[in-house]
Structure 1
Amino acid sequence: MEVAEQKACQGYASLNILSSPLTIDPSLPLPHIKNHIVELCKDMFKDWSKLDDSCFLVERISGGITNLLLKVSVKEENCVDVSIAIRLFGLNTDSIIDRQRELQATKYISAAGFGAKWLGVFGNGMVHSFIIANTLTPSDMREPKQAAKIAKQLQRFHQVEIPGSKEPQLWNEIRKFFEQASVLEFDDIKKQKIYETISFAKVHDEIVELKEVTDRLNSPVVYAHNDLLSGNVMINNEQDKVYLIDYEYASYNYRGYDIGNHFAEYAGFDCDYTFYPNRNEQYHFFRHYLKPERPNEVAREDLETLYVEANAYALASHIFWALWALIQAKVSPIDFDYLGYFFLRYKEYKGQKDKYLLLARSYIAGCKINGNIHSDQTHLK
């Protein structure tokens, strides 16, 4: 076991939760993964240690562009079926994700009643209770009824208290990603040539300008999810319950960033930004976020303030995930066009920059926001 994994397991044990030093390669075919998952379950849950392997059913729930999520159904000796969820971290993701920070977050977020119950950890993953709910699609998130539910739950999430520094992490993370992304070398000649077309001096200048403007918005600092894409939202409509899951990127951050990043995810991995929410759709979300119980009582100026914040910080979201994608293009074994994803996100940043920075600067200067400035008819693909 690697040194980093040994330290992680020691940290987990100190929190008195179930732990195992075992690691499982997420790139293996599912039949091979199953054998390792059964071994892990028997090692972690002592009541299952003597069960026959046939008592375990392992199913793939989803596999995004970072992690692999599995459902394990166990038929115990008393014939009662029990299900748990196992998340395998993507290979080489520790260079991008602060696992200790995620550990800290998961402990408190789980205790606050968000997401699944945290059951334990192992060398390269986590074990949770299985949530009976549907994972949303990007189109689901855009439905007004679902958007209102997500807004209400996000407002609750933003009130979670996590011990430690409350410094917003956005620009620290972007700086870290920029440093890693700007010095890559690809073995694939074609990828290297594409990579060399990127002007990192220009990207750096964009980051400096964007930070200077958004800092002046004074967006409130909250405990943010930072990765509220459709795959991280689950809804049980019968119980009217919303789950926000996976806290790999969670940290204290700007309110506007968490909401703007969520809006950017309406486009899905295909980056179809014709689905980016217009002003009326955003206002619907803001009303249920700002006053969940009395959404129709939200003041116009509060809607305008959050509109400025969310759309300015959506620009930062494009920069963040564009740089992230470059690093993933180098280290990830997942079959996904990360280089192409960089250009899609960066193109959208450049296409929306003038519009939303003008809006932000006008707001900062105290100018009245008018329909000509934030008309969604000017939104570019």
Structure 2
Amino acid sequence: MSPNKFRKAREQYHGGNGIVNNGDHSTISRKYYHVTVEDKPYYPFLEAHDNNIESIKEATACVLGLSQCAKESLFVSPVLGGNTNTLFCVSSIQSSNGKNNNDIPESVLVRIFGAPGLIDRDVETSTYAALAQQGLALAYFGRFANGRIEEWSDWKPITESDMAKPDISSYIAMQLARLHCCFNIPPHLLEYHNPQATPTMWTQLEEWLASVQTATFRNDHDTQRAQDLQLHKLNDEVLWLKESVIPSTAKIGFCHNDLLASNILCSVPLQLIDFEYGGINYLAYDIANHFNEFAGGTAKEDKSTPDYSRMPSPKMQRGFCRAYLNECLSYENETTQLSSRELKTHLDNLVQEVEGFMLANHLVWGLWGIHQASQIVDCTTENDDIDKEDDDSFDYLHYGSCRIKRYWQIKEEWMQKMMSSQNDDNNSSNE
């Protein structure tokens, strides 16, 4: 099903009387009007709100087809870890339904979408449904106006310290290779995930950079923080990345694009989740993004500040790339075995590519944080302390600033390394 099916369903309502044509000459309350998209129910006008438990129960009951009695018995609990979305676990479903139905799970994950306008939720949901159908994502049960319902897993996300464990790191590499090599993009999604199109990295950089350069912020303090970053200089940096850093031969495919610890469940095997930023991108970028996420910064205890002392060592990065490359080669079913020298060449090239993409990745998420900050409405008063240390809310602007500053630091190191490499080459040719 094309994502356009979601849009067409929303267009069925053309009046102000709260009644919509149900497609069979009958009428139904606008709120409960639904269609089937991606073989699952879609309620285009039924909303759930994170401060209203009853609305979450109602969305769950409608999508899963539960009775009114079953709805009242549902138990809703918040799930921590979502930065863009608000998550809830809704449980006691089968018992509340009063029957043993294998099609109805005991618990589900309710995802209420955040970041309005930042992500095309029609394309994202169609993509998620395709991933689920191919066994690459947890099951998809249906969608309501501002969210969807997915399979619930009792497995907890891994931590940044887990990612540093060699055995877990290798398993992550293998699961990422599986995504890159095995996802078969359905024909109806090729319009949105076209391997011949511009990689997501460039479109995100250009769109978010244009957005933040004209953005307004919730108060003078945030405006000054954004100005201190001298965002006007980043246009030249994007051009430099295109011309001098990112190789034209870098492989492209469907990527996760957000492989941080909270998006990896500690199941057997490891399960990747939250594909909302998924799209066509450079495969090495996905690895670079994962490495940068070792620093954290999005967890509550991190206080919006990445800790780059936690970055994986060059040895660990190379080990991850080796496990990834070996897994990719196993999916390619090559008839001829690569020699150890050929494998080393492939590995050296991949490691070098990843280093360049780590630079670009800092810009991507730096601009993301600044863009998100610009979307926040000022709720402070004159007596509010905007720098309160006990404020637990995520500071998007601070996080974005950390990533931009890290970019400049890593760029200097990268330039020095490239100059050293060129000098070595020149010395070798003169001998």
Q: How does 1:191-206 map to 2 (within 5 A)?
A: 191-206=222-237
CA distance, structure 2, for counterparts of residue 355 and residue 281 of structure 1: 19
Corresponding position: 1:233 with 2:261:
no
Corresponding position: 1:346 with 2:404:
yes
Partner of 2:99: 78
CA distance, structure 1, for counterparts of residue 150 and residue 55 of structure 2: 17
Corresponding position: 1:157 with 2:179:
yes
Corresponding position: 1:177 with 2:208:
yes
Report the residue type matching 2:307 in the other structure. D
CA distance, structure 2, for counterparts of residue 138 and residue 39 of structure 1: 36
Partner of 1:59: 77
- Shift, 1:325, TM fit: 0.6
Contact 2:60 2:149 in 1 (8 A): no
Contact 1:213 1:361 in 2 (8 A): no
Aligned alpha-carbon RMSD (Å): 2.9
Contact 2:246 2:357 in 1 (8 A): no
Partner of 2:140: 118
Contact 1:17 1:120 in 2 (8 A): yes
Match of residue 39, structure 1, among 58, 64, 69: 58
Match of residue 306, structure 1, among 343, 350, 367: 350
- Shift, 1:50, TM fit: 3.4
- 168-177 vs 285-294, which moves further: 285-294
Structure 1's 335 and 9: CA in aligned 2 closer, same or farther, altered over 3 A?
A: farther
CA distance, structure 2, for counterparts of residue 306 and residue 265 of structure 1: 18
Secondary structure of 2:107's aligned partner: strand
- Shift, 1:361, TM fit: 8.0
CA distance, structure 1, for counterparts of residue 411 and residue 292 of structure 2: 14
Q: How does 1:65-104 map to 2 (within 5 A)?
A: 65-73=83-91, 74=93, 75=95, 76-78=97-99, 82-90=106-114, 93-104=115-126
CA distance, structure 2, for counterparts of residue 216 and residue 97 of structure 1: 28
Structure 1's 13 and 78: CA in aligned 2 closer, same or farther, altered over 3 A?
A: closer
Structure 1's 17 and 199: CA in aligned 2 closer, same or farther, altered over 3 A?
A: same
Secondary structure of 1:19's aligned partner: strand
Match of residue 253, structure 1, among 277, 281, 285: 281
- 158-167 vs 289-298, which moves further: 289-298
Secondary structure of 1:286's aligned partner: helix
Number of residues paired by the alignment? 354
Report the residue type matching 1:18 in the other structure. P
- Shift, 1:77, TM fit: 0.9
- Give aligned-pair identity as a percent: 27
Structure 1's 52 and 322: CA in aligned 2 closer, same or farther, altered over 3 A?
A: closer
Structure 1's 116 and 58: CA in aligned 2 closer, same or farther, altered over 3 A?
A: same
Report the residue type matching 2:48 in the other structure. I
Partner of 2:313: 278
- Shift, 1:8, TM fit: 7.5
CA distance, structure 2, for counterparts of residue 87 and residue 366 of structure 1: 53
Partner of 2:29: none
CA distance, structure 2, for counterparts of residue 86 and residue 56 of structure 1: 12
Contact 2:291 2:312 in 1 (8 A): yes
- Shift, 1:143, TM fit: 1.1
TM-score normalised to structure 2 length = 0.75
Report the residue type matching 2:64 in the other structure. F
Which is bigger in relative contact order (C-alpha 8 A, separation at least 6)? 1
TM-score normalised to structure 1 length = 0.85
- Shift, 1:332, TM fit: 4.1
Secondary structure of 1:241's aligned partner: coil
Partner of 1:265: 293
CA distance, structure 2, for counterparts of residue 5 and residue 357 of structure 1: 48
Gaps in structure 2 of 5+ consecutive residues:
12-34, 298-304, 331-338, 378-391, 426-431
Contact 1:213 1:357 in 2 (8 A): no
CA distance, structure 2, for counterparts of residue 143 and residue 321 of structure 1: 25
CA distance, structure 2, for counterparts of residue 181 and residue 293 of structure 1: 37
Cα deviations by residue, 1:217-274 (Å, 9 ceiling, x for unpaired)? 52100210000111111121xxx21111111110110011110001000110131111
